[in-house]
Structure 1
């Protein structure tokens, strides 16, 4: 009996609790012959090696490296009757037809026989692994024989591989290009053990992408695979990206991380600047996030408040790798969760991204004045926006946080104060428009409009509450990185069918587990705020097309622990961490 429970997720990688009869293991792990396993010994909960016999796969299959499909004769390995194991003999696109032809219960382990050969063919590797991971059950494992190579394991884990096999000889001529000097089999096993533990630790901390970016450049095939995945497989990989965690954008590859690209796409598609704004102010980023909590931005905000017209100022932060961050969405992932080395030098790719994002954010906006409160290193902005540079005084550049630059910013804005009549009503209107901007950014344009219809906003940023005549809609939460919903907000969101999860007709007493999910919105990502509704039909079954069968009243709100499609397809695991249940449901 083989049972798989996913306990940690990071990109397409997982840490799984693997139960085989009365034995328990964790993945990612290395499969080894039984005699080697006995020689290695057992080191308890942190075990990284699993003997072949426990997976019920013949040892001969595990150590053979087939050069072609013709070299693999499955019958010779005596596993034809093992329904838990499926031998994947094809690569993309034929692999889709191959796994689509499986009849009956889904296998627990998919063995990718050409894994080692695929490493030297980056595009085929990426296409095959992403297609396999995305089209087999989430409780099934992917095993890549003969790929137990330091540096390779990290990349394969990123694409969803769970199990790796040791290489039959450390002197295989196909491995000579990999920069590892291995003098003995014991040393090879030790390196593999360290690598698997590094991967597990990175998955637990949500930092696998950072490790991949560090390791991938060590070989041309692995860095090519990462770049191909970023540029060509965004639609597949993006849904596995969380909406929470930390981002350490330390390499050039970070510019194309799917979660970073998703942010930029969301700004382009969901963000509309405040129509009240008459003045554009471009600002530098800060090490502390959100920016408004940093000393530099506190000083800038103080200057703006001193002018009395901050309500009509559109504050936009220039940064890499995000491009731009409008003040209204600074607490959202990854704007409030990234760190990047600052050198004062911007390369062409970074400049191009900033130019593209500025064009998108400023589209349709009409400003009377533009102020650029940026240091000399941001001089390239002059090619994108015409404005008054407030950090350049009498021909000399000053630090944006310096007293001179701040005084100059204040005096420049005060020169035009008399042109505008900014009263308390306008300030309140800007407060509510900013919240509408956030609602659209988080839930989409249509849903945001419904959520904020006739809504009032109270409080002082970032502690803002949203209410209406019927009751509480929700509040802005810096901790959760966005709007969290109360009953009236959940009811409004449910009318749009966005970010909703339908569960079966049962009494809700705790969190939501995948077997109870009948339908979930495709836009849901891990970390998103979601609304839980009960189905209208009795004995409902899981169905991607049953959104019309959701109930009228929300029964709970919470945080998604799986993306929408995964909730529907998974047979085990927690899907939604419930934050609040509503009256009359228990």
Structure 2
């Protein structure tokens, strides 16, 4: 048996979905999602089907041989790998509590079932396998929560392994399976559909249209795979796989059920796969009600309800505003007009929107509030109303505002949570603001003070504290303020990805105040590159894509910082670049 590992690199990722490059990283011969051929399958190009799996005996449990159809393993001078594995006994998921013996292979191919995951201690702390075969995938998929939980656990435990669910994939569900982290797929369901005279498409099986498509051929079936795999790879590269998944899961109620379970599980696991900072070109499309269970949306609305607290100087007057098509809202014509009417008065401004619920002015530059789009009808359904009122009620439990001026168009009545509400229109908005300013004896604040309060709020939201800002001041001209401390440049706000760009001088203070996530690495000789998996000694489990990560050596000496390219779960023996170096001390 060939014991070498696959040549793997990652060219694109979105949450748990990745595009792996297979083979030589300088000239990969295949990418995922990819097909693994079985006996008697049609011959396909190696760049879409880099593996073939054959049964090698008639024993029970059976043994199989997986061969590379291209040079996939170092030194990339011949076709490789060539691995045998034993499937092991496969118990149905209903017997997962049975402590039976599986006797399946472990490495380089791990034969895995739900029962084995629960009872086989031999698979704990094993060397990362190259391929993981989920042997009971078909049966397990009928138990939605157990299925997505198993896939999530396997994906996050073995970030550099390729996952295969035999017999489960088709052009109609490969997008969703890729979203769960599955990398390899086979043609079993396509062969079944073909035998039944049906074409298995991205929308499910259907009869062929003889007038337009001619006779049903297997080439037509393969074209469905090629088109969908190309679409998925492009979607991951452009960070819009979620939108594609929301379309495809409508093929089957079970898939909708599984996505909802997956969303809640990811949210409960503290969003380990989500990004915190993204480029301004990346847009979260909120075109379907399914987006409301997206962990990104749930995290935002729940944090607003449970944790957001306005600055102590802004706790008399609450002004509710409508959202705008242009993001951040402050750049829109309507919000510039609102700002002129409000002036520099000390008040809390919150925009009402769907599906996020509420977006405070201090946080509107953050993802996803600054990068989402939604069709606007002016109608609020029952669930949207509940999201808004729950979030607002949560804030009002912590802050005793004296008055709410509601200019959002979202009806609250004349009183909400015991606080007087004044509904306004464009005709009387400015007048009511001035009246409230006089009655509540509200003072004004300078633009510089206003921006510093926003920086404190953003830091508390992202990092849990803003202690690093103590003793700092803003210099320069707005809106591109610079943060200075002890006469030295400390940080500035990066409008391109809505994050703080920290100077080298700020790193010791950020370490002392436990502001940023960290990682401990072992330094190669003459190290001048980025951070890769073999260098990792330990890491913060809260790392998200785009985070600034403080880097320490094995003696706990701060040596610099990097920008995370992968979420925390990939830092556990993951492949590819994990962080791009920003500063060296």
User: Which band: TM-score by shorter chain?
Assistant: 0.7 to 0.9
Q: 1:192 aligns with which of 188, 209, 225?
A: 225
Aligned in 2, Cα 1:119/1:327: closer, same or farther, shift over 3 Å?
A: same
After TM superposition, the structure 1 stretch with the greater mean CA deviation from structure 2, 262-271 or 148-157, is 262-271
1:139 and 2:173 correspond? no
With the length of structure 1 as denominator, give the TM-score of the two structures: 0.81
What residue in structure 2 maps to residue 335 of structure 1? Answer: 369
Q: Please state how far the C-alpha of 1:82 moved relative to its aligned partner.
A: 8.8
Contact in 2 for aligned 1:514/1:571 (Cα 8 Å): yes
Correspondence list, 1:474-553, <5 A: 474-497=491-514, 498-505=516-523, 509-536=528-555, 550-551=556-557, 553=558
Q: Please state how far the C-alpha of 1:532 moved relative to its aligned partner.
A: 2.6
Contact in 2 for aligned 1:27/1:48 (Cα 8 Å): no
Correspondence list, 1:76-95, <5 A: 83-88=107-112, 90-91=113-114, 94-95=116-117
Q: 1:431 aligns with which of 441, 448, 451?
A: 451
What residue in structure 1 maps to residue 324 of structure 2? Answer: 286
Contact in 2 for aligned 1:270/1:444 (Cα 8 Å): no
Whole-angstrom distance in 2 between the partners of 1:128 and 1:388: 51
Q: Deviations over 1:338-383 (max 9, x none)?
A: 11111111111111111121123334323343211123xx225767
Contact in 1 for aligned 2:106/2:123 (Cα 8 Å): no
Tell me, what secondary structure is at the counterpart of 2:383? helix
Correspondence list, 1:181-330, <5 A: 181=206, 183-236=216-269, 238-243=271-276, 244=278, 245-268=282-305, 270-277=307-314, 278-305=316-343, 310-330=344-364
1:374 and 2:379 correspond? no
Tell me, what secondary structure is at the counterpart of 2:219? helix
Tell me, what secondary structure is at the counterpart of 1:312? coil
Q: Please state how far the C-alpha of 1:329 moved relative to its aligned partner.
A: 0.8
1:165 and 2:151 correspond? no
Q: Deviations over 1:273-298 (max 9, x none)?
A: 12111321101111111111111111
Q: Deviations over 1:159-209 (max 9, x none)?
A: 110001111522689x99984216443322221221211211111111111
Correspondence list, 1:400-479, <5 A: 405=426, 407-418=427-438, 420=441, 422=443, 428-445=448-465, 448=466, 450-459=467-476, 462-469=479-486, 471-479=488-496
Q: Would you tell me which structure has more helix in proportion to its own residues? A: 1
Whole-angstrom distance in 2 between the partners of 1:556 and 1:273: 34
Q: 1:30 aligns with which of 26, 35, 39?
A: 35
Q: Please state how far the C-alpha of 1:271 moved relative to its aligned partner.
A: 2.8
Whole-angstrom distance in 2 between the partners of 1:7 and 1:530: 21
Q: Which ranges of structure 1 fall in alignment gaps of 5 or more residues? A: 71-78, 392-404, 537-549
Contact in 1 for aligned 2:491/2:501 (Cα 8 Å): yes
Whole-angstrom distance in 2 between the partners of 1:85 and 1:251: 39
1:346 and 2:380 correspond? yes
Whole-angstrom distance in 2 between the partners of 1:69 and 1:323: 39
Contact in 1 for aligned 2:9/2:21 (Cα 8 Å): yes
Whole-angstrom distance in 2 between the partners of 1:166 and 1:382: 62
What residue in structure 2 maps to residue 556 of structure 1? Answer: 560
Whole-angstrom distance in 1 between the partners of 2:250 and 2:49: 25
Whole-angstrom distance in 2 between the partners of 1:514 and 1:82: 22
Q: Which ranges of structure 2 fall in alignment gaps of 5 or more residues? A: 54-66, 69-80, 95-102, 208-215
Q: Deviations over 1:115-149 (max 9, x none)?
A: 2233333223212211211222x111101112231
Whole-angstrom distance in 2 between the partners of 1:169 and 1:565: 37
Whole-angstrom distance in 2 between the partners of 1:211 and 1:262: 22
Aligned residues: 524
Whole-angstrom distance in 1 between the partners of 2:413 and 2:510: 39
1:573 and 2:576 correspond? yes
Aligned in 2, Cα 1:66/1:49: closer, same or farther, shift over 3 Å?
A: farther
What residue in structure 1 maps to residue 62 of structure 2? Answer: none
Tell me, what secondary structure is at the counterpart of 2:206? coil
Aligned in 2, Cα 1:166/1:57: closer, same or farther, shift over 3 Å?
A: farther
Q: Please state how far the C-alpha of 1:480 moved relative to its aligned partner.
A: 2.1
Aligned in 2, Cα 1:457/1:374: closer, same or farther, shift over 3 Å?
A: same
Whole-angstrom distance in 2 between the partners of 1:82 and 1:434: 52
Q: Deviations over 1:486-542 (max 9, x none)?
A: 234322221133412222245653432232232222211111233233332xxxxxx
What residue in structure 1 maps to residue 75 of structure 2? Answer: none
Contact in 2 for aligned 1:10/1:206 (Cα 8 Å): yes
Q: Please state how far the C-alpha of 1:336 moved relative to its aligned partner.
A: 0.5
Whole-angstrom distance in 2 between the partners of 1:65 and 1:535: 43
Aligned in 2, Cα 1:512/1:269: closer, same or farther, shift over 3 Å?
A: farther
